[in-house]
Chains A and B, each alone.
Chain A
Amino acid sequence: MKSAKTLAVAGLLSATFAMPAAHAGATLDAVKAKGFVQCGVSTPFPGFANTNEKGEWSGLDVDVCRAVAAAVFGDATKVKYTPLTAKERFTALQSGEIDMLSRNSTWTLTRDSGMGMNFAGVNYYDGQGFMVTKKLGVDSAKKLDGASVCIQAGTTTELNLADYFRANNMKYEPITFEKSDETVKAFEAGRCDVLTSDQSQLYSLRILMSDPESAVVLPEVISKEPLGPVVRNGDDDWFKIVRWSLYAMIEAEDLGLDSTNIDEKIKGESPDIKRFAGAAEGDDKNLPLDKKWSYNVVKQVGNYSESFERNVGQGSPLKIARGLNALWKNGGLQYSPPFR
């Protein structure tokens, strides 16, 4: 809590004293001057943002930060991470404490329009679900009338939950915690019957439990949760850098490029690939970056598929299927506008 308050006060102070706002490109200049991207991520959340025993961050959200660093500096390691709770995250971004936020945040109208922020894209299409203990014997969310529900504060899930129970004319008791691991502890202690969050989080939190087999995720998905990176309003250059760094990963998968074959493939004849990687003669610099920026993203971070499988898919303990996050041509929603 303390940090949330401090952040809010810091936000207040920065709004108070900061010199009138930045010109376009100011964030990029500031990032280049300090030599790293300050990226807001989750308090450890396996698969999306987590640290290993050496303190190195990895995860699907972390890869977006690394892609931006690769695009800006040609070096994906030039990132500093700020772990934030759901409550703290937007204030940290608004106050300028971080340059970008990549913290499984749902893109909504209110957040995009009234809070001084811009969502730069979607790196994971999610939906809210419910997890219950097996011994409760519940097989549908419609049977949860009167249940106690553990939930994380300051999330869209709080609102979806309220809407869902209201729409189905059911009652519930919300037990609201600051951090997602506190919700799991309370769920394990039997304080609540149900744990609700985005489904990806439920799978991730489930492996944090001492006995993951005792819990089951219910089939209902009650909301749309497009999760993506966020930047502050008013700096279009930076906004586009973050947006296209993410698209570069998706487009690379679309073009069949990955970190292992890109060196070879750009020597080939495909104009799409050459244009994408900035390898052709006369490629103009569209973004205020090195013209090999997208090559650096793919070479150092990998394409979207590599990032997905490594962090949350078959190469990870979570084993989440691509589902909605497959490429558009494979029946999913991930789609990048053309690189031309």
Chain B
Amino acid sequence: MATKNAPPAIETNLAPAKPPFWNDPEKRALLFQILLVVGIFVFFAYIFSNTLYNLEKRGINTGFGFLSSPAGFGIAQTLIPYTEADSFATTFVVGLLNTLLVAVLGIFLATILGFTIGIARLSKNWLVSRIAMTYIEIFRNIPLLLQILFWYRAIVPMLPGPRQSQALGDTVFLNNRGLFLPKPIGEPGFGWTLIAFAVAVLGVFLLKRWARLRQENTGQQFPVFWTSVGLLIGLPGLVFLLTGSPLTWELPALKGFNFQGGISIIPELGALLLALTIYTAAFIAEIVRSGIQSVYKGQTEAAAALGLRPNRALQLVIIPQAMRVIIPQLTSQYLNLTKNSSLGVAIGYPDLVAVFAGTALNQSGQAVEIIFMTMLVYLVISLVISGLMNWYNQRMALVER
């Protein structure tokens, strides 16, 4: 009926009318975003309340109250004092520290080994380069779990029992219960040596700054490296001797079934650390190789033209530029190593997954809370590592002048 009048109405009404809000892209986008946020919130609220409801309905204890009840089981390797009477919260910390221990040691060793192999891979020496290549191709391509099991199953049965230990003098012992090292025990006055070491570290830092400023101003170089080494060893050493060598060693000794005293490294830690280091180093080696090769050849030639010797050219020109390629990938490898450390459960290494998400979960029966806490821990560790590496990456980034 109204169709007759409609066309003229459109022609006359050409002034921009305010469109309804569902036709306004900006408002529509805002609306959808609000709907999405509300939707997500409702979804998670539903999951949360439904989980609680179902757990209660099934008569399963909920909440984090279990953390304060006594755990009652033993743990092979504890970095903090722990007894069976301690709480589940303590087992959480013990497990977490064991995870961090293997992760930190692994990252440290894998970085050193990886850089060495990566540089060896680029060596002009045919043999060295091929050995590095073989290493990379073998260890990068075998699943990590198998490598862990291999080192564990290969090493432990080969080692002698405690009474037939391989001994290095009367101080270091190796058997199928682990590696036993003497433990340094500081006596009163040892604190001065530690203070001297801290002073030496500060001194090195200042020396480096001074040497750099002097070189910028005068062009004269200063042997920073050897001076630093001298400072770091000499100053604490001198103080140590002056205060009368206040340090004794607690030696491991065979008592009953096994060695007591000293520092012991259990074979599970050894095998896990070995496997993680060797596996991750193979990847790091490839990353280092690709990083160095990504620096344009002209850079090497330009450095040579400026009169830098190959070592100095590598140190001052190639590596800083290669680092920009290396660091982001290195971060991924560090994250992998940390998360892979949870495979230690296969050989009974008492890490967070074995102790807390394993035994503690089973003894308390509170799977939801414990798995949640464990996942959260790995998330936090990973975020911290990538935060640190991003900060380092920014410092190493190319500064355009």
Contacts and interface: CB of A to CB of B under 8 A. Distances in A.
Interface of A: 1, 4-5, 8-9, 11-12, 15-18, 20-21, 86-87, 90-91, 94, 110-111, 113-116, 144-148, 153-155, 158-159, 161-163, 165-166, 172-178, 182, 185-186, 189-191, 193, 232-234
Contacts of A158: 72-74, 359, 363
Contacts of B176: 189-191
Closest 8 CB pairs of A and B: A154-B362, A115-B365, A116-B60, A162-B84, A146-B256, A116-B58, A174-B74, A189-B157
A114 B267 contact: no
B358 A87 contact: yes
A159 B256 CA distance: 23
A16 B157 CA distance: 45
Contact of B358 (A154, A163, A172, A185): A154
B34 to A, nearest CB: 26
15 contacts: A15-B51, A15-B368, A21-B54, A21-B57, A146-B255, A153-B362, A154-B363, A158-B72, A159-B72, A172-B74, A175-B348, A182-B348, A186-B156, A191-B156, A233-B58
Interface in B55-79: 55, 57-61, 72-76
A148 B73 CA distance: 14
Contact of A176 (B58, B350, B368): B350
Interface string B317-350: 0000000000000000000000000110111101
Contacts of A159: 72-73, 363
A162 B348 contact: no
B60 A173 contact: no
Contacts of A8: 357, 361, 367, 370-371
B174 interface: no
Interface in B67-95: 72-76, 83-85
Nearest to B84: A162
Contact of A234 (B59, B345, B359, B371): B59
B54 A234 contact: no
Nearest to B365: A115
B362 A1 contact: no
B115 to A, nearest CB: 31
A16 B256 contact: no
A1 B353 contact: yes
B177 interface: yes
Contacts of B53: 20
Contacts of B156: 186, 189-191
Nearest to A183: B348
B51 A16 contact: yes
Given A12-B371, A17-B47, A114-B61, 15 more contacts: A4-B358, A8-B357, A8-B361, A20-B54, A21-B54, A21-B58, A94-B365, A115-B59, A154-B359, A158-B363, A166-B84, A173-B76, A176-B359, A191-B267, A193-B257
A153 to B, nearest CB: 5
B342 A1 contact: yes
Contacts of B348: 175-178, 182, 186
A146 B74 CA distance: 13
B330 to A, nearest CB: 27
B357 A5 contact: yes
Given A1-B342, A116-B58, A16 B47 contact: yes
Contact of A11 (B47, B73, B74, B368): B368
B234 interface: no
B50 interface: yes
Contacts of B345: 1, 178
Given A20-B53, A148-B257, A175 B84 contact: no
A174 B75 contact: yes
Nearest to A118: B59
Contact of A146 (B72, B257, B357): B257
B227 interface: no
A175 B345 CA distance: 11
A234 B51 contact: no
B354 A114 contact: no
B258 interface: yes
B398 to A, nearest CB: 42
B365 A110 contact: yes
Contact of A162 (B54, B73, B255): B73
Given A11-B367, A16-B47, A162-B73, A153 B358 contact: yes
Contacts of B347: 177
A288 to B, nearest CB: 22
Nearest to A136: B257
A116 B367 CA distance: 12
Nearest to B372: A12
B358 to A, nearest CB: 5
B262 interface: no
Contacts of B357: 5, 8
Contact of B54 (A18, A114, A148, A185): A18
B55 A15 contact: yes
Nearest to A138: B257
B161 interface: yes
Nearest to A162: B84
A44 B363 CA distance: 22
B260 interface: yes
B268 interface: yes
Contacts of A146: 255-258, 260
Nearest to A182: B348
A8 B374 CA distance: 12
Nearest to A135: B161
Contacts of B61: 114-115
Contacts of A18: 54
Given A87-B362, A158-B74, A190-B157, A94 B260 contact: no
